[in-house]
Structure 1
Amino acid sequence: MGKQLQELQDGIYLVKDGQMKKVQAPTTGYGKTIISWESNKPTRAVHECSEKL
């Protein structure tokens, strides 16, 4: 089996076709990621960064 969950860093992970990929955090530290799904599989991620005023 691949990576053990205990070895992973804090964050959001997607598993698609048995492959695990970490979703990158916003570069500014603030923002959101929107995941699009097709046929029960994640297909796209839209990253939006914001700036705290």
Structure 2
Amino acid sequence: MAPKRWRPNLPFKDYRFEIEDTIPAMAATIGKVVMVGAIAATFAGALAQ
């Protein structure tokens, strides 16, 4: 990594997305959906009994 500048990361400034960012973003999205689905299924299972 070669950062181009040393300044604080201010909100809404300097958010650059590159092609390599899509893989972790998709993995995180899939993981979140699976986790929420598992919690919902557990909750629904507890209500069904």
TM-score by length of 2: 0.19
Give the structure with the higher percent strand.
Answer: 1
Q: Which has the larger radius of gyration?
A: 2
Bigger proportion of residues as helix = 2
What TM-score do the two structures reach when normalised by structure 1? 0.19
